[in-house]
Amino acid sequence: MVSPLAGKPVNPSDLVNVPRLVTAYFATRPDPGIPAQRVAFGTSGHRGSAFAGSFNETHILAVTQAICLYRKRAGIDGPLFIGIDTHALSEPALATALEVLAANGVDTMIDQDGGYTPTPAVSHAILGYNRGRTSGLADGIVVTPSHNPPEDGGFKYNPPNGGPADTEVTGWIERTANELIERSLDGVLRIPHQRALRASSTHRHDYVGGYVGDLGSVVDLDAIRSSGVRIGIDPLGGAAVHYWAPLIERTGIAATVVSDIVDPTFRFMTADWDGKIRMDCSSPYAMTRLLGLRDQFDVAFANDTDADRHGIVTRTAGLMNPNHFLAASISYLFGHRKGWRADSAVGKTLVSSSMIDRVTAQLGRRLLEVPVGFKWFVDGLSDGSVGFGGEESAGASFLRKDGTVWTTDKDGLILGLLAAEITAVTGRDPSELYTGLTDELGTAYYARADAPATAEQKKVFKGLTPERLDARQLGGEPVRQTLTAAPGNGQPFGGIKVVTENGWFAARPSGTEDVYKIYAESFRSEDHLRQIQDDAKALIGRLFETSSQPGGKPGAA
């Protein structure tokens, strides 16, 4: 249900109380006996709120010490690049982390101006430092809960490959951090903050100059400038806010930053679908401001708070569905990046649109279909065997023009600039390019929905097999495939996907809420899409019903 507050300014009385939030961060002590108050690394690090006891100083002390111990265990002894976004808890968490990093003697690279650092800028810095090195490798930390509400905090680790850490690494860090908390932080090294700032191991780094100065190697900034394409940019009060002015000044592109306000309450945002503030650049409700300005620009874009996601607004169609922009980007890039390897693949998560499959086949490229999580694209982007990796949640990155790695984490800045490049080079904005693809390849009707599920029902997805689901028809068509592992790498994805000739659905449980997610697509019609969704809910509902019966096995049909 969409809230009546969606797309409207938030009542000032409903804004987060930042002093209380920061006080809770320092004053709250988590109870390791309560699962929700333990350190838990999801696909994007540890996230939570100080108000809920799930993100506080104790957590960050323990996680940072665990990272220091992991570095010693893995032989990582180069500098650690650390950046923060604009959430209220990010500054306190940085201060806490720096106290531990300095006490452990870790060479730590903080922003030279005490500013904010997008996730891709940290990845870019790690990869730039490690280029050509075989020892003394760097790694990094990004303090961000991504597009989550203002009261949330987040903390994620990027190893020397520059991308999100894999589950083996995060699992070790998670276990070690929780053990430290259970021991009342016995074993955590720490020095006072001012001493940490003055420590010989703490260094100032020019993240902005290093990243902005290199953008011309991945995006055709000359084409954007010479075309005069008019660009609107909304950082949504996030970490990219101070990156755009230096780029505009350096290159002379016709870009306008529509707002450079930073406010940890995010009072300038309009409410998302549920009435909450959420800096989700793929949501039309959160993007109301930029959508209202679309006629002033040839193309416009926004980023979420750590700038690893993109939201593309075109004059012709408004806010693009993320899947549509991924398909258009893939079609354009593989036709215009002559420096990329002839065998470089297209990477997508298995819940992304099958329009990407059709575009990839049209290009004669290999498709790499993987589980949800950008970590699955890291190796391919690193060695150039994957030219583009993208997720349906509006996150992607791609190679430099010469076919070498740019970032191995999602980069919303280059995807926004790519929208401008497409417009400049082709004379059509990305929406028009996508419409041309549908004329050739068919129209895709795609939707993602959440359905309620108890904790016990979510466990049904564990160990689920195609035989247990026993799906024979979907949307009136015979089932061709039922998958529990991604075709691209054989890795299980914690859910199930059912495919027919003209449609599919995938279902997987949420890691943070009592819901399961249903992704569905039809190449026939909106009505067919709804039929697929209804059939999917019926299939999953039957699993839930069977598993709740005495003696019923989870997932038994």
Residue-wise DSSP of 346-397: EEEETTS-THHHHHHHHHT--EEEE-SSGGGGHHHHHHTSEEEEEETTTEEE
How many whole angstroms separate alpha carbon 82 and alpha carbon 94? 8
For residue 51, give the 3-state DSSP assignment.
helix
Q: Name the pairing type of β-strands 139-143 and 152-158.
A: antiparallel
How many whole angstroms separate alpha carbon 74 and alpha carbon 257? 42
Residue with tokens 């905090």: 153
How many whole angstroms separate alpha carbon 440 and alpha carbon 167? 40
Q: Which of 90, 123, 146, 227 is catalytic?
A: 146
How many whole angstroms separate alpha carbon 376 and alpha carbon 485? 13
Contact 363/343 with Cβ under 8 angstroms? no
Residue-wise DSSP of 279-296: --TT-TTTTHHHHTTGGG
Q: Is 353 a catalytic residue?
A: no
Calculate the CA dihedral of residues 57, 61, 64, 67 and round it to 10 degrees.
-130
Contact 129/81 with Cβ under 8 angstroms? yes
Strand order in the sheet with 481-485: 445-452, 515-522, 503-509, 492-499, 481-485
Residue-wise DSSP of 225-259: HHHT--EEEE-TTSTTTTTHHHHHHHH---EEES-
In eight-state DSSP terms, residue 162 is S
For residue 36, give the 3-state DSSP assignment.
helix
198: number of CA atoms within 13 Å, CB side? Answer: 5
Q: Which residue(s) pair with 155 in the sheet? A: 46
Give me the active site residues, please. Answer: 146
